[in-house]
Structures are given as structure tokens and as C-alpha cells.
């Protein structure tokens, strides 16, 4: 008889445990920010030809000159890339050196994009197969990486750079230069 009383409370105990688990998950929400696996790792080995006739191409060696840089993955066919153009110009005006990698783009489309939205890039490489994009862990365009002067990736910004991101990227560049 006493064993029967105990089993009567078992469903209520299981339900209470379930509610406690749900409450714990609601109190402590899951991490929503994507953490790049490339943070703290060197920029992959690559050498890209120029995507624009007025700027040189890009290679891994360009990130090992002792100066921190922004590496911006973009494309002329990317609408958010046009939206971030004023912020990239602002970053350049504040002495941020920006290196671009144009993804699956045609030279004439790159030229038209830069003529319309400005050219903040010191160098622009053409990644026609998205090989560097995949090796560096970029899942789309635009994405921006902060790379220190030894070629180590220090920060990844996913999506277009907005006004609120300019100060963050400048701070990350400063940290990468220290």
C-alpha cells in the first residue's frame, strides 16, 4: 500500500522537473552570437589577382607588415554591401586601412560599384571561386575581419557595417595594433 502512494506522486515529480528545466532555459537564453573558429588564427595562405585596375591584388603577405587592417569580403551584386559603403568610407577617413576581397564578381561590375559607392580599399583581390571566403570562415557577404599586423584574425563582424559598428571596429583595430 505504501508503494502505491509513492507512484501516485511520480508523474507530478516528472512534470515539476520538466517545468524547472524549461524555467532554467528561459532564465538563461542560448548564445545567439556566432563565434568564428578563425579568431586567433592566421589568415589563410592566398594570393588573389586585382579585381580593379586601379588597386593591387591581395595576398597573405599584405597582412604581415606590422599594421592592423580590416579585411572586407564584399561583392558588387550584394545590396548590404552598398548599404555599408558610407561606413567603410568613414572608417577609411579615420585612418583604417581596408583591404577588400570581391567575391564572384566581374571587373566591370566592380568598377561600376566603386564608381557609384566610393572606393575605401587600399587593395582589392578577386575571389572568383569563393575559395578565400570559405577558408577564412565567411558565410556570406558582407563580412569584415580585423587582422593584426602579424596576420592573425582578431575579430569578425558578420553582415553589413552600420553606423553603430564603426566605433567598435575602430576599437578592435586599435586593440589589434597594441
Mean pLDDT throughout 75-101?
97
- Average model confidence (pLDDT) for the chain? 92
Does an H or E element contain 157, and which? strand 153-158
CB 155 within 8 A of CB 81: no
Tell me what pLDDT residue 47 has. 97
* pTM to 2 decimal places: 0.81
Q: Which three cell numbers stand for residue 107?
A: 571587373
pLDDT above 90 covers a percentage of the chain that reads 81
Strand 143-147 to strand 98-103: parallel, antiparallel, or no bridges (unpaired)? unpaired
34/24 Cα distance (integer angstroms): 22
Pick 75 or 25 by higher pLDDT: 75
CB 147 within 8 A of CB 46: no
CB 138 within 8 A of CB 102: no
pLDDT above 70 covers a percentage of the chain that reads 94
Short-list 91, 90, 72, 82, CA closest to 146:
72
CB 126 within 8 A of CB 53: no
Amino acid at each position: 500500500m505504501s508503494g502505491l502512494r509513492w507512484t501516485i506522486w511520480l508523474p507530478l515529480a516528472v512534470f515539476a522537473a520538466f517545468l524547472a528545466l524549461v524555467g532554467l532555459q528561459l532564465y538563461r537564453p542560448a548564445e545567439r552570437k556566432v563565434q568564428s573558429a578563425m579568431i586567433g588564427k592566421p589568415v589563410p595562405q592566398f594570393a588573389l589577382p586585382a579585381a580593379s585596375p586601379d588597386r593591387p591584388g591581395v595576398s597573405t603577405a599584405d597582412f604581415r607588415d606590422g599594421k592592423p587592417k580590416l579585411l572586407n569580403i564584399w561583392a558588387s551584386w550584394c545590396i548590404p554591401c552598398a548599404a555599408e559603403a558610407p561606413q567603410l568610407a568613414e572608417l577609411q577617413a579615420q585612418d583604417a586601412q581596408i583591404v577588400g576581397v570581391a567575391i564572384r564578381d566581374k571587373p566591370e561590375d566592380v568598377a561600376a560599384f566603386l564608381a557609384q559607392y566610393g572606393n575605401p580599399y587600399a587593395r582589392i583581390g578577386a575571389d572568383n571561386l569563393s575559395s578565400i571566403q570559405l577558408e577564412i570562415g565567411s558565410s556570406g557577404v558582407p563580412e569584415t575581419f580585423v587582422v593584426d599586423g602579424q596576420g592573425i584574425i582578431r575579430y569578425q563582424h558578420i553582415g553589413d557595417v552600420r553606423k553603430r559598428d564603426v566605433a567598435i571596429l575602430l576599437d578592435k583595430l586599435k586593440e589589434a595594433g597594441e
